[in-house]
């Protein structure tokens, strides 16, 4: 590597020098001086090259003990948080989100997407709002579950939402995070009509037998998004169930296309993450957001592990529901036991050419994946 890159460096130095000499007259400069001049040009040009390198998109998969909270920080500095984890626990999940926000150097949440009104997603909103300003609230509209606990959660959310700007999610619309393309794929049981850019091909993995598709829970209302930064694409579909949600999204036409990263739907419960979705998305990496004893089902892990082209499987928690062989390998699991004290996150940085790096905060394990497209 050193020899090869040295040759590259030399040729780069030569081409810069020849460019310089084309502009000025180098004919009277002795060879040694020419070489020194070339080196000087490279050294001077280096900060310029670094300054023009694209900044990465940062994504934090925050451990909220089997709920969801995923923080996207755009190269522009704007941020989008998808869900806020659980309520109570003395603000545990809100504090964990704040820690990720601080690590990213942001001081407000520009867009908060609430996928649906279950307590492991919307529950943390009131506590989070006491720690960091939230500008825009995006949700699917009226809840479909109205039992007392569900109503209390929704009302608590509304009280916070009332202090900011509300955006009703509709499939096909863009969430205007500066520097990113964020497309709403699903919301309130509806699915994007025309395919998202990059989608539109027939899905060969669709099952022949279609299950009667009924789901009256909040899960089926999930706001699902496709986040794109150049060639890098990633889905976050909340707790969308396989029937009818995932099926409608990718069958018979795959309206999403391929992605670099698939965040497991519904914490890798068996009711989500069907093989016809995961295979169609064809991810390079899957990240699971199960808890130690919540989600992480063998069926969903199996769908991920058998996905064609998968190069990496990372997980916020070891799942006691699945066999050790189905779990991610230990270095790629952020939290290995059900002791929740540490709450390590998984962090991803992505570049517009589609390359991305995943890092486990627990052990510093880090892997870079090259663009496929």
Interacting residues with Zn ion (CB under 5 A): 120, 239
Which residues touch 57 (CB under 8 Å, ≥6 apart)? Answer: 72, 73, 74, 75, 179, 180, 227, 229, 232, 349, 350, 351
- Residue whose structure tokens are 């497209």: 373
Please, what is the Cα angle at 227 between 92 and 301, to 5 degrees? 65
Shortest spacing between CB 118 and Zn ion, in angstroms: 5
- Minimum CB–partner distance for residue 16 and Zn ion (Å): 54
Closer to Zn ion by CB, 237 or 333: give it.
Answer: 237
Closer CB to Zn ion, residue 238 or residue 354? 238
Give the Cα separation of 306 and 325 in Å (integer).
13
φ, ψ of residue 202 to 5 degrees: the values are: -60, 145
Considering the complex, state which of residue 120 and residue 279 has its C-beta at the smaller distance from Zn ion. 120
Burial 10-42 (b: 16+ CB within 10 A, else e): eeebeebbeeeeeeeeeeeeeeeeeeebbeebb
Backbone angles phi, psi at 365, to 5 degrees: -55, 130
Residue 120 or residue 271: which is nearer to Zn ion going by CB? Answer: 120
Cα 203-296-264 angle, rounded to 5 deg: 40
Residue pair 144/221 in contact by the 8 Å Cβ criterion: yes
110 vs 120, beta carbon nearer Zn ion: 120
The CB-side HSE value for 370 (13 A sphere, CA atoms) comes to 0
120 vs 236, which CB is nearer to Zn ion?
Answer: 120
CB of 352 to Zn ion, least distance (A): 31
Closest CA to 21 of 35, 6, 4: 35
Report the nearest approach of Zn ion to the CB of residue 61 (Å).
14
**How far apart are CB 268 and Zn ion at their closest, in Å?**
11
Q: Which is nearer to Zn ion, 56 or 238 (CB)?
A: 238
* Helix (H), strand (E), coil (C) string for 10-25: HHHHHHHHHHHHHHCC
Which of 258, 267 has the CB closer to Zn ion?
267
Q: If you search the block for the tokens 């520009």, which residue do you land on?
A: 110
- Minimal distance, residue 266 CB to Zn ion, in Å: 6
Minimal distance in Å, beta carbon 267 to Zn ion? 6
Least distance (Å) between residue 231 CB and Zn ion: 30
Place of tokens 């040694």: 32
């Amino acid at each position: 590597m050193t020899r090869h890159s040295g040759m590259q460096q030399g040729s780069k130095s030569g081409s810069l020098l020849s460019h310089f000499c084309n502009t000025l007259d180098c004919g009277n400069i002795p060879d040694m001086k020419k070489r020194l001049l070339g080196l000087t040009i490279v050294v001077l040009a280096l900060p310029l090259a670094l300054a023009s390198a694209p900044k990465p998109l940062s994504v934090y998969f925050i451990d909220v003990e089997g709920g969801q909270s995923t923080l996207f920080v755009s190269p522009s500095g704007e941020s989008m948080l998808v869900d806020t984890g659980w309520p109570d626990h003395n603000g545990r999940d809100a504090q964990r989100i704040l820690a990720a926000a601080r690590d990213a150097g942001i001081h407000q949440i520009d867009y908060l997407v609430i996928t649906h009104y279950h307590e492991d997603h919307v529950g943390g909103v009131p506590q989070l709002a006491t720690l960091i300003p939230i500008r825009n609230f995006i949700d699917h509209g009226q809840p479909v579950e109205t039992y007392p606990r569900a109503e209390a959660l929704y009302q608590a959310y509304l009280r916070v939402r009332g202090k900011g700007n509300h955006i009703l999610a509709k499939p096909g619309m863009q969430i205007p995070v500066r520097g990113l393309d964020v497309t709403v794929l699903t919301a309130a049981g509806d699915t994007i009509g025309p395919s998202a850019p990059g989608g539109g091909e027939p899905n060969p993995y669709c099952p022949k037998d279609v299950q009667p598709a009924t789901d009256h829970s909040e899960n089926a209302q999930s706001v699902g998004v496709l986040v794109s930064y150049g060639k890098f694409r990633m889905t976050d579909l909340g707790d969308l169930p396989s029937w009818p949600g995932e099926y409608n999204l990718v069958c018979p036409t795959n309206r999403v296309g391929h992605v670099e990263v698939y965040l497991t739907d519904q914490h890798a419960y068996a009711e989500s993450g069907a093989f016809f979705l995961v295979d169609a998305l064809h991810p390079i990496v899957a990240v699971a957001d199960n808890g130690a004893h919540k989600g992480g089902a063998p069926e969903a892990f199996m769908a991920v592990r058998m996905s064609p082209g998968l190069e990496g499987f990372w997980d916020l928690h070891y799942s006691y529901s699945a066999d050790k062989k189905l779990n991610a390998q230990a270095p790629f699991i952020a939290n290995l036991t059900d002791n929740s004290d540490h709450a390590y996150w998984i962090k991803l940085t992505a570049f517009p050419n589609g390359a991305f790096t995943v890092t486990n905060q627990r052990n510093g394990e880090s892997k870079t994946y090259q663009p496929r497209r």
